[in-house]
Structure 1
């Protein structure tokens, strides 16, 4: 697979179900073999798929990419708070899966290795980060109680996203990995290549900073009303 063949992939294409095209009469046997391989890949572990990817198996790569695209994109968006940058990180991370597969060693779970790649790519982009706020002008006001509650939830979520985006790099990574990606402190430590105690310290500082930032946002909002 060429670099160009990976570059066109985005969140939508990678997240599509893995399917086999209907067989043509002239290729029925080949299609049947492909269908059997697809079924095998559906049950294969990430590590088994990586071994196939290492041998240049594009079908195994697509299955692996489809399996992890949604979570990879979600992690990128929470780290970067920018949809366009997150989509680029997704593409680059999957390209690294393909390129590095022959050299990959199963010293940690594939997901841990992939998250490490994604977090490092995100941190490398942080000095050029930008926050994309909600476009309130594009919405038609709805005075119903349910709409008001929904708006308040969105505003609260946006406030949290802004506060997380403002955290120092490793504090932000620790929060996202443990609270949003549901990794244990030990798994987060493996992703960040540090100790469990260091992750715990990062989380303590991050939560303290978030509380202060959210309080400041609330006070600022109240002073303008």
Structure 2
């Protein structure tokens, strides 16, 4: 028996439906300067992979996962490639919090460890559930919950917010 053929909407329909979500997540993860480049790279990767998809379920989550991975690639490319014991300390710049609404919150988000920062941004800016966050970060939903929970605890502590 032959496998069932997947019927995908035209790629332009996908772009029309989700371009704002991709752009918003890219800016949140990479900042206002690099966000457009990350979004563009995500669309390029999605376009290349689109014909090979085996399922048309949750295309939005698939796109946001690609966007998160493109942002991760950007951040990794900025880091030194030498072994840590040989490398001098280098500050890796993220989004400039002063350019965002509620700069204190975004400054605190920028100071989170990378995986916590990505998890909380995917959850609350990308509006992904823990399965979507887990897929984007290549981890489990339980680990996703823990990353988000830990990030929220750090943010509440830094901002003096009682839970």
* TM-score grouping bracket, smaller chain normalisation: 0.7 to 0.9
- The counterpart of 1:179, out of the listed 124, 127, 131, is 124
Corresponding residue number in structure 2 for 1:195: 140
Q: d(CA) in 2 for partners of 1:134 and 1:188?
A: 26
Q: Is the 8 A contact 1:78 1:161 kept in 2?
A: no
Corresponding residue number in structure 2 for 1:89: 38
Aligned length in residues = 138
The structural deviation recorded for 1:64 is 1.7
Per-residue CA distance 1:95-138 (angstroms, 9 max, x = gap)? 11211122222285211211111111111222534433547xxx
Corresponding residue number in structure 2 for 1:206: 151
Matched, 1:68 2:18: yes
Question: Which has more helix, going by share of residues?
Answer: 1
Q: Is the 8 A contact 2:8 2:56 kept in 1?
A: no
In structure 2, the CA distance between the partners of 1:130 and 1:185, relative to structure 1 (3 Å rule), is closer
The structural deviation recorded for 1:71 is 0.7
TM-score by length of 1: 0.54
Corresponding residue number in structure 2 for 1:112: 61
Q: Is the 8 A contact 2:97 2:110 kept in 1?
A: no
Per-residue CA distance 1:131-176 (angstroms, 9 max, x = gap)? 33547xxxxxxxxxxxxxxxxxx4xx11111111221222112211
Q: d(CA) in 1 for partners of 2:109 and 2:13?
A: 32
The structural deviation recorded for 1:79 is 1.2
Q: Is the 8 A contact 1:189 1:199 kept in 2?
A: yes
Q: Is the 8 A contact 2:28 2:95 kept in 1?
A: no
Q: d(CA) in 2 for partners of 1:173 and 1:69?
A: 19
Q: Is the 8 A contact 1:75 1:176 kept in 2?
A: yes
In structure 2, the CA distance between the partners of 1:178 and 1:105, relative to structure 1 (3 Å rule), is same
Q: d(CA) in 2 for partners of 1:195 and 1:209?
A: 21
Instruction: Give unpaired runs (5+ residues) of structure 1.
Output: 1-46, 50-59, 136-153, 216-225
Q: Flag the structure with more relative contact order, 1 or 2, with Cα contacts below 8 A and sequence separation at least 6.
A: 2
Root mean square deviation, CA, Å = 2.2
